[in-house]
Amino acid sequence: MTRIDAKFAELRAANKKAFVAYVMAGDPNYATSLEIVKGLPAAGVDIIELGLPFTDPMADGSTIQLAGQRALAAGMTLNQTLSIAAELRKTDDTTPIVLMGYYNPIYSRGVERFLVQAKDAGIDALIIVDLPPEEDDELCIPAQAAGLNFIRLATPTTDAKRLPKVLQNTSGFVYYVSVTGTTGAAAAQAVDVAPEVARIKASTDLPVIVGFGVRTPQTAQDIAGVADGTVVGSAIVEKIGAGEPVADILAFVKTLADGAHRA
């Protein structure tokens, strides 16, 4: 059982939905990013999505793109990203960490070497948005053999023919993208999301977590109410980008987590 499996079992036992927070590693710099990450569990975050900075983040809107640029400009690397996870693990051995990003930095490092390093750092799962199921042999299968979950995205355009392919080697949870387009796009609507979540859950026993377009405590509550939990990224990253104090950022995160947990 991975940390993600254990977390969902714990949430089900408590009749709670999951709140997942995304932050870009190294944004705006290593020290501040580490302070934010270390503060997320106490702010109510059940699962941390840690963005791996990359020069060409094609699935991300301007907010996340700018966060990646800030991190890279501050000298953030793959090693330092894994270091943030390792530092959290010194005081927290239960909160799952999902590394989210693109394949190029991993390919450049070498898959086998990367997986050893990621596992050693305490990473629990990967979301690699530019590796389709047809490329599962590249990373998905080796990652699962190494004990890491491999989480796949499903979208409003993932039709009945495509869905089984998306689900075939997915583990941990399914990330449903609530709106078409990039991160930070239009607001998610529970009435639109609910039938899509039901459709996915009819084909898998995995939890379905909904992200993209969730920016407020009320939306977090509404979306978590029709899924197994929700993800917020851009709304948090905007506050980091604005240079708000870490305490204020974490206080905002807590309002989102409280919203999701009320569902």
Asked if 49 is an active-site residue, the reply is: yes
Asked if 10 is an active-site residue, the reply is: no
Candidates 46, 49, 196, 222; catalytic one: 49
Candidates 60, 196, 222, 238; catalytic one: 60
Show the tokens assigned to 110. Answer: 């070498």
Residue 145 CB contacts under 8 Å (≥ 6 apart), including other chains: none
State the CB neighbour count (10 A cutoff) for residue 126. Answer: 25
Mind telling me the catalytic residues?
49, 60
